[in-house]
Structure 1
């Protein structure tokens, strides 16, 4: 599981930072990629990476401000010409269906793959046997959501030597035990999976927030997160300005990380008023409250190792 930043700026594209888009690479887990926001020129950013648009499975939009969605119609259209045939699901606030429908209709764009659009409300918006995704409203000028991605716990390592000692030979029984299925042997003994598996492998948690003021729902979404991605449009001391513009400061992002018990914080949505030299200061400000803080840059990748 890896996070890859395709765009990390605020408001408008800048030379050092494109507007927002984040890829959650789940290539080992499910052979796919999930995108969070698709700002203008996201597909151009992708051209400089190893990301394959045909592997994009889900797209989660935090809110409908242009710097988070203007790249979406182009990306959806181009995917048809880049070998994309599998279904894509787009999740986003009310208005998402109309925006995509009008964009594709007016441009007479035909997609060669199924497209599903889900206009979300708060709560669990996706769940399968691997992951759940929860959405909660944040505080912004328009409805803006944060997403909590939770990987479900996986069975522990198969204790193969212990099974062999119990007289079980490698083969189909090993697989059934690994999948948590009890097995009755020919001699009548019942092999219970819990006796031959190591501790469950705990799932990872990633929290990706849209634009927001400091708020309680941000803390709730980030509880125990292995990685919290939080906007920091402004530096410390600019709390009034951040409040007026429905954004957060470095200190506020760090406070969310601290109160939520997150393990790592990455600041993003950085205003172009801060040049490259100032980025170190933004990190230092957050570290005054939460030490394990980093700052996103376009094309930066963060690995989230298995536990």
Structure 2
């Protein structure tokens, strides 16, 4: 999996930073977490495979996290998309999407937009796919807000194609059977077992997305042992009181979550506009005191999970 942070600004954009949106790309499909204004432009700049966008996960209904949906969905429609798009989010997201799709007159939609509203303060699995699952927990913000975690299920072991050639395993269904864990009998009567050609199962990767939120235990739970944590880091130490009042996190608090949860990688994002390119270094220094290897996001940064 690979994550691209599309926008890193909090509340309003700046000349250098756009609004919230994070892309998570798997081999066969693409997820989008939040869709702030201008997201579709940054998707183009990121050279994202928009045709493979399958699901949009919305954390909450503040404008800087949803006002990009009208433009993105309309562009997908104008590009003759036919595959459904799934949208998950807190209560109210269905009404917003309904407005987006019905307000423009004489617009015919070529694809279905299937919206799933999450119950208030919902904890549980929202998507259970054969290859992965997506879980959610409520976060601590001024509006109902959900954080998300994507976990790939264990991957099949690597198939040794060279060894298969040596053993005379033909190209075709026999190799697929071995990869699936089934023994096969060749034309000459020899039986080939999966252990002869397939390595041990590989652990899948995991990704957690926590924004907007104050310092809270559910963020830690979502981030526990995760491969990549993206966590809002709106303020520095100087904004601690504001973070408390507005239910945001300081970068030190976000780094504390990352360290306590033993996240393997931590990306700080969602910075207040008060921090210009000089003062942002102060935030970075504060975060590194807690989590030395933190990654300071900038728009369009790509991180391998």
Fold conserved (TM > 0.5)? yes
Residues 53, 84 of structure 1: 8 Å contact kept? no
Taking structure 1 as reference, are residues 192 and 138 closer, same or farther at Cα in structure 2, changes over 3 Å only? same
Q: How many residues align structurally? A: 301
Query: What is the CA–CA distance in structure 2 between the aligned matches of 1:54 and 1:20, rounded to whole Å?
Result: 21
| Distance in structure 1 (CA, Å) of the matches to 2:277 and 2:216 | 28
The 3 A distance-change label for structure 1 pair 165 and 51 is closer
User: Which residue in 1 is equivalent to 2:116?
Assistant: 118
1:166-245 maps to which residues of 2 (within 5 A)? 168-184=169-185, 191-245=192-246
Give the corresponding residue for 2:66: 69
Query: Aligned-pair distance for 1:189?
Result: 6.5
2:48 matched residue in structure 1: 51
**Residue 16 (1) aligns with residue 16 (2):** yes
Give me the TM-score of the superposition, normalised by structure 1: 0.91
User: What residue is the counterpart of 1:147 in the other structure?
Assistant: 148
Match of 2:277 in 1: 276
Aligned to 2:100, the other structure's residue is in SS state helix
Residue in 2 that maps onto 1:96: 93
Offset of residue 11 of structure 1: 0.6
1:280 to partner: Cα distance: 2.2
**SS, match of residue 51 in structure 1:** coil
Corresponding residue for 1:127? Answer: 128
Provide closer, same or farther for how the CA distance between residues 20 and 164 of structure 1 changes in structure 2, counting only shifts above 3 A. Answer: closer
How far is the alpha carbon of 1:298 from its aligned partner? 1.1
Task: Return the offset for 1:119.
Answer: 0.9
Identify which range, 2-11 or 159-168, moves more after superposition: 159-168
Alpha-carbon separation, structure 1, partners of 2:79 and 2:46: 14
For 1:102 and 1:219, the matched residues in 2 are separated by 35
RMSD: 2.0
Distance across 1 between alignment mates of 2:238 and 2:185: 67
| SS of alignment partner, residue 31 of structure 2 | strand
TM-score with structure 2 length normalisation?
A: 0.92
Shift in Å at residue 19 of structure 1? 1.1
CA contact (8 A) 1:54 1:82 kept: no
Q: Give per-residue Cα distances to partners, 1:174-209, cap 9 Å, x unaligned.
A: 221012223355687754424532121211111111
- What residue is the counterpart of 1:35 in the other structure? 32
Quote the Cα distance in structure 2 between the aligned partners of 1:197 and 1:277: 52
Matches of 2:98 and 2:168, distance apart in 1: 61
**Shift of the alpha carbon at 1:78?**
1.4
Query: How far off its partner does 1:87 sit?
Result: 1.0
| Structure 2 residue 79 is the aligned partner of structure 1 residue 78 | no
SS, match of residue 279 in structure 2: helix
Aligned with 1:276: secondary structure? coil
Counterpart residue number, 1:254 = 255
Partners of 2:195 and 2:133 in 1: how far apart? Answer: 24
Q: Are the structure 2 counterparts of residues 172 and 69 from structure 1 closer, same or farther at C-alpha, using a change threshold of 3 Å?
A: same
User: Can you list the C-alpha shifts for 1:86-143, whole angstroms capped at 9, x where unaligned?
Assistant: 1110111111111111232222343211111111232110021211100110101111
1:227 Cα deviation from its structure 2 partner:
0.9
Partner Cα separation in structure 2 for residue 51 and residue 196 of structure 1: 35
